[in-house]
A = this chain, B = another copy of it.
Amino acid sequence: MPDIFRPLRSFVGAFAVLAIITVATPWSEPVQAQPDPLPSWNEGAAKKSILDFVGRVTQKSSLDYVNPELRVAVFDNDGTLWAEQPAYFQLTFAIDRVKALAPQHPEWADKQPFKAVLESDVKVLAESGEHGALEIMAATHSGMTTEAFNKTVAEWLDSARHPRFKQPYTALIYHPMLELLDYLRANGFKTFIVSGGGVEFMRVFAERIYGIPPEQVVGSSGVTKFQLDTDGKPSLVKEAKVEFIDDKEGKPAGINRFIGRRPLLAFGNSDGDLAMLQWTAAGDGPRFMGIVHHTDAEREWAYDRKSNIGKLDKALDEATAKGWTVVDMKDDWLTVFAAQEGRAVKE
C-alpha cells in the first residue's frame, strides 16, 4: 500500500513562537554553542553523532564546512516525526471520512472495502489490501476543491483522538525530533519533510507543529484540475487520480523534483526511506543518515522487521553495515511525545 497518510494540530505558545523564529532565519549563521541543544536526547552514540556532524559542517574552520545554502535536511514524517501506529494517521482520517460520508453513499453498505469500514470489519478491510486502500483514499481525497479538503483535514485534526493515547494526533509528535529540527535550523539548515503522505494533508499541520512551511513539504499527490466557475472564480479540484507517489524509490525522485539539491542530512524509520538514505549517502563530502528505531513498547511501540506498518528490515541491515546512526527510541530518548514534555497542546 502506498504511504499516503498522515495529520495535524495545534501547538501554540512556546512552540509557535519558536517555529516563527526558526522559520524566520532558515539560512542563519551557526549560533554559539548552547548549554544542550538536545536535552530530550540521552547521552549516547546517536546524540553524539548528531552533534559531531552539525559541528563539522557548520564550523568555518572545519575541513568539512558546508555553505548554508547546501544545508538541506530531509525528514520522513510517519514514524520519524510522529507516530504511525496502529495505522497511518492519514488512513485513519480517510476511514473516518468514509463513515462521515456514508449517508450520501447508500451504495457503500454493500460495496467493499466501504462495507468493511462501515462495519469496522478489520479482517475484511485488511484483506482488501492496497487496492482497497486506494479506493478509500480516492473516495475521500477527491471530488472537492483543495480549499474544502484542507478545511476537512483541519476539522478532523481538531476533533479526532488517537485510540490508545486519547490525544489529538498532532500531540503524537516526537519531542526529541522537534528539538533536532530546531537545532538544525538554528545552525543554518533548511528543513524539509519528504514523506509518502499526501502533500496537501501534511501541509495543513506541518508549519504549525513542526515549523516546516508548506513549500518545504514534499509528499505524494493527486492530480488537481484548474477550473473557472460561471463568475470567473478559479478553483483547483482534486481528482481521483494519483500523480506522484513519494515513497521508496520515489523519494529521491521527489527530492530531485521539489528540492533540486541532494540532502546533507536525512532521517527516516523504515524501508520506505532506504532509497532516500542511499541517495543522501552517495553525495560528496560528509552526509548524515539517521534512522528512528521503534524499540519502546511501553512509551510508544516496538516494531521493525515484521511490521506491516513502518517495516524496517533492509534499511536496518544497511544502516548497520554502513555505520549510519540508528536511534534506539527506548535508550536514546528521555521523552517521546511532545505532549508528555509539557508543550502546550490545544485540546
Contacts and interface: CB of A to CB of B under 8 A. Distances in A.
B215 A260 contact: yes
Contacts of A24: 27, 68
A110 to B, nearest CB: 36
A252 B275 contact: no
Given A24-B27, A215-B190, A244-B243, A252 B279 contact: no
The residue among A68, A236, A250 with the most chain B CB atoms within 10 A of its own CB is A236
A257 interface: yes
A151 interface: no
A77 interface: no
A244 B217 CA distance: 18
Contact of A23 (B27, B224, B257, B261): B27
Nearest to A248: B226
A214 interface: yes
A253 B278 contact: no
A147 to B, nearest CB: 10
A33 to B, nearest CB: 22
A225 B259 CA distance: 16
Interface in A229-268: 232-234, 236, 243-244, 249-250, 252-253, 256-261
A81 interface: no
B252 A234 contact: yes
B249 A226 contact: yes
Contacts of A26: 26-27
Copies of the polypeptide in the assembly = 2
A200 B258 CA distance: 10
Contacts of A256: 146, 200, 224, 236
A132 interface: no
A260 B200 contact: yes
B203 A260 contact: yes
Given A27-B24, A243-B244, A252-B236, A226 B260 contact: no
A25 B25 CA distance: 7
Interface in A158-206: 190, 192, 199-200, 203
Contacts of A190: 215
A282 interface: yes
Contacts of A258: 215, 258
Interface string A7-41: 00000000000001001111100000000000000
Contacts of A278: 228, 232, 234
B279 A233 contact: no
Interface of A: 20, 23-27, 68-69, 72, 146, 190, 192, 199-200, 203, 207, 213-217, 221, 223-226, 228, 232-234, 236, 243-244, 249-250, 252-253, 256-261, 275, 278-279, 282
Q: 6 closest Cβ contacts across the A-B interface? A: A214-B260, A226-B249, A203-B260, A215-B259, A224-B253, A24-B27
Given A69-B207, A72-B215, A243-B244, 9 more contacts: A23-B27, A25-B27, A146-B256, A192-B215, A214-B260, A215-B261, A221-B257, A225-B249, A236-B256
